[in-house]
Amino acid sequence: MATVEVVVANGLGGADTKTVFKETYSKLKEEMLDDPAFEFTDESLQWIDRMLDYNVLGGKCNRGLSVIDSYRILKGVDVLSKEETFLACTLGWCIEWLQAYFLVLDDIMDNSQTRRGQPCWFRVPQVGLIAVNDGIILRNHISRILQRHFKGKPYYVDVIDLFNEVEFKTASGQMLDLITTHEGEKDLTKYNLTVRRHIVQYKTAYYSFYLPVACALLLAGENLDNFGDVKNILVEMGTYFQVQDDYLDCFGDLKFIGKIGTDIEDYKCSWLVVQALERADEKQKSILFESYGKSDPACVAKVKDLYKELKLEEVFQAYERESYNKLIADIEAQPSKAVQSVLKSFLHKIYKRDK
């Protein structure tokens, strides 16, 4: 899963957004540990407590925080009421819980070693495949939280439908990614722009870009059926974000991105390899087929040299300009100035980013 670097402004007047957000997590966790639907033992309480802190915390919480900021912009106020702030933070944490659920299971499927600078949850001693059940518990917590705090709200069913739909889209995108890049069946002929776009759109863009704004729209009393264009813009933004990610994985400055990219070694269906396949002649394609997906530094260097030979840095820069101009035009066509502000706040945080 991509880690979205969308940064939001403090929008709660005197209180710092992140502080209030963190306090809400503590309250929600306490409620989950005190859920009357299950008779917890001391051991199971300790397990859930540790599992939540390990998996729900630790990220930048950008998806969750952007619910609060988007809601504030949509309402046209500098300060939200205490109740409004709590509900926005709660929906924000539901997104973070969803992210944790995806990542716990994603790491098992990818046989990953680390996540957010620490061992993947299933790699922790005594956890192992209990992590599968923990993922299921994380997903069920979302339903428990929504029921506790939103049942009786006019948009309660819409929120549930929204989370269910986004979860289905994300799981379907993950399936497409897994069957396309299936280990032991490496076949670059499967890689094309359509397949890659579908993987990115469904696996990342809906839950990372659309879901936070959709939550804010529901809080503001809006009907999501009236915001089909907004959904399309946000999914397009998520797609553009992932292209940037793919580009930075290969061409990014290590001191900015803080990690060494491994898309080539990992045989990822990256925007760069898809572009290379479209532009390469037969000789260049044979280099790709022989070298892509191998951890040998010489093979990685051959692929990177080929990317430079095909001028993919220039191709990316042209794509970035075109994407930005189209997104701005689509955003400015929106009738609501508040919606325009929300969308522009997302776009301006990611445009020309270097990490």
Residue 1 within any structural domain of the chain: no
In a domain, 5, yes or no: no
State whether 183 and 35 are in the same domain.
no
Residue 8 within a domain: no
Helix or strand or coil: residue 191? coil
- Which pLDDT value is given to residue 183? 58
For residues 111 and 50, membership in a common domain is answered with yes
What pLDDT does residue 123 have?
95
Cα 159 off chain centre by: 18
Mean pLDDT by runs of 10 across the 355 residues of the chain is 39 65 96 94 96 93 93 91 95 97 92 85 95 97 97 97 97 91 75 92 94 98 97 96 92 68 87 95 94 92 95 96 96 96 92 71
Cα–Cα separations (whole angstroms), residue 163 to 99, 130, 175, 206, 223: 12, 24, 18, 10, 15
Residues 205 and 242: beta-carbon distance below 8 Å: yes
Q: What is the CA radius of gyration of the chain?
A: 21
Residue with tokens 């946000």: 234
Largest CA distance in the chain: 66
- Which residue shows structure tokens 């009357």? 36
Query: What's the number of domains the chain is made of?
Result: 2
Distance, CA of 126 to CA of 130 (rounded, Å)? 8
Does some domain include residue 6?
Answer: no
Q: Which CATH number fits the domain that encloses residue 222?
A: 1.10.600.10
Which tokens belong to 355?
Answer: 């990490």
- Give Cβ neighbours of residue 210 (< 8 Å, ≥ 6 apart): 166, 231, 234, 235, 238
Decide if 233 contacts 201 (C-beta within 8 A): no
Q: How far apart are CA 239 and CA 153, in angstroms?
A: 33
Q: Considering 152, 187, 211, which residue would you say is the last residue of a domain?
A: 152
Q: Specify if 62 maps to a domain.
A: yes
Q: Which of 130, 152, 174 is the last residue of a domain?
A: 152
Do 137 and 50 reside in the same domain of the chain? yes
Together in a domain, 117 and 172: no
Same domain, 226 and 138: no
Same domain, 298 and 175: yes
CB 196 within 8 A of CB 269: yes
Residues constituting the chain:
355
Residues 75 and 85 in one domain: yes
Domain-embedded: residue 80: yes
Q: Which residues contact 160 (CB under 8 A, 6 or more apart)?
A: 143, 146
Flag whether 295 is in a domain. Answer: yes
pLDDT of residue 163: 98
Q: Show which of 152, 173, 191 is a domain's final residue.
A: 152
Together in a domain, 222 and 339: yes
330 and 222 fall within a common domain: yes
Closest C-alpha to 81, from 152, 8, 13, 151: 13
Range of the domain at 57: 16-152
Please, what is the angle between helix 297-309 and helix 312-332, to 10°? 60
CA distances from 310 to 56, 141, 191 (A): 41, 48, 18
- Whole-number pLDDT of residue 217: 98
* pTM score: 0.89
Same structural domain for residues 228 and 113? no
β strands within the chain, DSSP E: 114-115, 118-119
Q: Are residues 112 and 248 in the same domain?
A: no
Please give the single-letter amino acid code of residue 319. Y
d(CA 212, CA 349): 15
The pLDDT assigned to 256 comes to 63
Using CA atoms, how far residue 80 sits from 13, 95, 209, in Å, is 8, 20, 22
The reply to whether 277 and 133 lie within a common domain is no
Examine residue 63 and state whether it is found in any structural domain, yes or no: yes
